[in-house]
Amino acid sequence: MGSSSSKKGPRPQPVRPADHGPLPQELVPYAGPQIQYRIVQMMVNFKSHVTFGFTQGVPQTTTNVDDYYPTLGAQYGEGFTLISFYRIPGGAQQTGLFSMTVAIPFQGIFSCCPSVPTHERWQLRIEKSAMYVHAMTSVRIFRGATTQSAANTSHLIDMISSCTATGGRLICVEMTGMMSAQGMQMGLTSSSMQTGVGVDLFFNMPLHPNPTVYIYQCVNTPIPMTMTPGFGQVTVDIQFNFMGHLAVHLNQGYRLVEIFYDQSAMSQIHGGFMPTTGMSMNTIWFFEKEADRVNDITPVYEGCIVEYYLKIQPGLGQVVASANWAPLMENMGNKGWELACTLETPKIVRSGMMTMKQTILLFFQRKILTSNSASGMPPSHIGLVDPSTGAPMATEYAPPPSYDEVAKQ
């Protein structure tokens, strides 16, 4: 199995062991189909001061879909379908001296199973949506400042329901920019305002007759973490069991589609010589299941997480990030693992005088083969591995603390 990149981007370099964490242990070879990947790199133009009906007349920054849709859509003619549209950190470029347009690097990640005949044919569809985030900051003497925000995702959920009602399948959700702040209110000890977050929703729409209809579950999940300043860098500690949370839903027969930061969070600053900031950043986990299996909790997919260390270094007037993970994905694809989504974390460590590495979590899944388990465990434990060691782990899961619990800490 191979992978390729478009002519617009550099050819991927071999991934060194230091570029990623341990891979899942394979006790027996996986007998299911292999996954072939294709990565297309491109610069996507963003335009500001764009309004839509759902933005209530408030301008936002958003992608110019017409610029990059032909490149993404052309891959479907070769049997590939989009599974992720990843915005590479940094690298924004202004496209004109007096223009408000900027271009940002993206990777379109595609997959196919050449060995599995199928009658299904798909067409890419991209829809615009938005979330409204209400933020409030309060200041308490001797306790520091507490900031809390909550996102209204009603338009996003309505759009997903509309596009999937006749067999469409959600691919991913990508943030495109912020809308103008509105409704600012000030008080003696608090302030609040509402902002909007523009998003692009990607769908696979069926071209074949009688498509399978899927239902979707959107799970709001706070990710607790602490940030402690040090000498030259901030130490981030994430207190969350990603594998346990994934296991809960895979064990109910769902498949992971996307994990999205909705830009709502809660934070509290704790005083001291080196003050620690306790945070809880909210994520939305999107899961899907065939509609006719809504009451069937038999696990269908097994999952694993691989840590990838994205190299970030300064360039000419900008920050440049290098996501050379095509060989890693090819390795995983040879074992039947299909990428579900990527999740950036705030864990960044210095790896040189001018180079940093940011931890990206790559979520993979593949269908369970009961006659040829990759781990030898019962289905409820299949394939769930610790991303730091690659070893199988149990699925015990404690729900993350709520925003109110974080505030009390």
Q: Is residue 22 part of a domain?
A: no
Per-residue CA distances from 385 to 22, 287, 361, 365 (Å): 10, 19, 13, 11
Q: What is the pLDDT of residues 228-276, one digit of tens each?
A: 776 666 778 888 899 999 999 999 999 999 999 876 655 555 554 445 6
Please give the Cα distance from 258 to 218 (Å, whole number).
10
Question: Which domain covers residue 41, as residue numbers?
Answer: 29-408
Kindly report, residue by residue over 186-228, the tens digit of the pLDDT: 444 444 455 777 889 999 999 999 999 999 998 888 888 887 7
How much is the pLDDT for 279? Answer: 74
Q: What is the pTM of this model?
A: 0.80
Tokens of 401: 């603390």
Domains: count for the chain: 1
> Exposure of 65 by Cβ count < 10 A (0-12 exposed, 13-18 middle, 19+ buried)?
middle
Confidence class for position 73, pLDDT limits 50, 70, 90:
very high
Question: 120-136, pLDDT tens digit by residue?
Answer: 999 999 999 887 776 54
Q: Residue 2, exposed/middle/buried by CB under 10 A (0-12, 13-18, 19+)?
A: exposed
**Tally of CB atoms within 10 A around 16:** 10
Q: Which helix (H) or strand (E) holds 337?
A: none
pLDDT value of position 409: 41
In a domain, 16, yes or no: no
User: Looking at the domain assignment, is residue 1 inside a domain?
Assistant: no
Least confident among 8-12, 226-230, 262-266, 331-335: 8-12
Q: pLDDT, tens digit, for every residue of 264-280? A: 655 555 554 445 667 77
Average pLDDT on 76-96 reads 82
Query: Is 207 part of any domain?
Result: yes
**Within a domain: residue 11?**
no
| Distance from C-alpha of 373 to C-alpha of 52, rounded to nearest angstrom | 49
Query: Is 10's pLDDT higher than 50?
Result: no
Cβ pair 305, 243 in contact under 8 A: yes
> Looking at residue 64, what is its pLDDT?
87
The whole-chain average pLDDT of the chain stands at: 76
Strands, DSSP E only, in 179-326?
182-186, 190-206, 214-229, 234-238, 255-270, 276-290, 301-314, 319-322
Which residues is 90 bridged to in the sheet?
Answer: 320
206: in domain: yes
Asked whether residue 4 carries a pLDDT value surpassing 50, the answer given is: no
Q: Is the pLDDT of residue 161 over 70?
A: yes
Amino acid letter for position 84:
S
In the predicted model, is pLDDT for residue 49 greater than 60?
yes
Q: Which residues of 303-320 are buried (b: 16+ CB within 10 A; e: fewer)?
A: bbbbbbbbbbbeeeeeee
- Answer yes or no: is 319 within a domain: yes
Inside any domain, residue 137: yes
8 A C-beta contact, residue 362 and residue 308:
yes
Token pair, residue 217, equals 């579950």
